[in-house]
Amino acid sequence: MKKSFANVGLCLAICLFSLQIASAQKAAKTQRTIIIMMDGFGNDYYRNADMPNLKQLEKAGIYKVVPSLMPAVTNVNNIAIATGDLPAKNGITGNVFFNPKTQKEEYIEDPGLILTPTIFQRAKKLGVKSALFSCKKKTVDLMGGFADISLCPECDGAGSTIWAKEFGAPPGIYSKEISYWIFKSAIYTIKNNPDLGLIYIHTTDYPMHMWPPESADAKDFLHHVDEYIGELRKIAPDAAILITADHGLNSKSLCWDLEKALQARNAPVKIVISPEKDKYVKHHRGMGGAAYVYLNDKKDLEKVKKTILSLKGVEAVLTRAQAAKRFGLMPERIGDLMVLADKTTVFGYLENAESEQLDAHYRSHGSGFEAHVPLFVYNANNAPNAAYFKYNYLLAAWMYRN
């Protein structure tokens, strides 16, 4: 009899626990959530700016400075945030990659290259309506396929949308106003679509490429962004607000064209790829603080590695296996070697020289020195505790999981 009662009690406890889990999952699935990926928003920008609304989120919720992923470029981090997976699983290791089929460098624009479901796919599977607003077309091309609503100023027809009618023609990509336009469009859409359960907003890092954190222009830009964050809180007081960044920015003084430098030192390679490179060349000229080197012959590895390490500004050279293990990268989509720069050096293509002293105003990212960013979790029902959020890509990794 005692055993029978014990079994009944155990069953009741299991049922109660299951109901609690189901209740928590339902709450997490149904709460409206606003995710903001603030491109280039290093913590130094936050601390130098007047952002009272964001500071309220910091005090009322979770705030941490966490590592972002390497290479410290947009696609690597944005896709990891959207999938909740490291590049080793989702497959995105840069803004460009070396396609083994074509033997050429190609932009990462095909959503088929993402190997794990995005948050939009997970939301759709659970019946949650979603929207993606991005300043950058590549983000919508990669991630927007499962969103119910998507918008980028460069997307076909953006100038004739309801958002253009309300807020004017989309500003140019090389402006701070483009982020304001995308915020206003998102706010308008939230107001007019109460059934939206997930809203993802991606700004541009153009202002951070142009201005250091202590500049008046950067402070003015971020103060305006903060006002939009305050407006989001007002129109969606029930919503969880999750915010992080992909990378920070630093001033750079030296660029190496590693292909030319290696050729000149009798250590030629097949190709060197800057994972920073994208179509927004005015931001950074395709130069970044990391590079993937593909060898002509595996036997050249030690010679090439030694030659690269002799160059000023090179901090480390990792083998494919070392880089994959250290940074959670997919081995098949990185070079035979990964080169890391110091804080003031970048790698990229130069037309007429192997190296270049850069303009005093040049700013870029890609290295480990830009791989620390703020993270905010505010008003999120059933979110994990602060200890869970060890990296930026975990911001929403816990959401819409079965």
Q: What are phi and psi of 347, to 5 degrees?
A: -125, 145
Give which of 260, 267, 258, 125 is closest to 198, Cα–Cα.
Answer: 125
pLDDT per position as a tens digit, 179-195 = 999 999 999 999 999 99
Mean residue pLDDT across the chain: 91
Q: What pLDDT is stored for residue 73 in this prediction?
A: 97
Adjacent-strand bridge partners of 298: none
Pair 113, 180: CB distance under 8 Å: no
Candidate CATH numbers 3.10.20.600, 3.40.720.10, 3.30.1330.200, 1.10.3720.10; the one for domain 31-248+371-394:
3.40.720.10
The domain segmentation of the chain, as residue ranges, is: 31-248+371-394, 251-364
pLDDT per position as a tens digit, 379-395 = 999 899 999 999 999 99
The CATH code belonging to domain 251-364 is 3.30.1360.110
Alpha helices in 212-354 (DSSP H): 216-235, 258-264, 281-284, 301-309, 320-327
**pLDDT tier for residue 282 given thresholds of 50, 70 and 90:** low
pLDDT per position as a tens digit, 153-180 = 888 787 888 888 888 888 888 899 999 9
Neighbours of 183 (CB within 10 A): 23
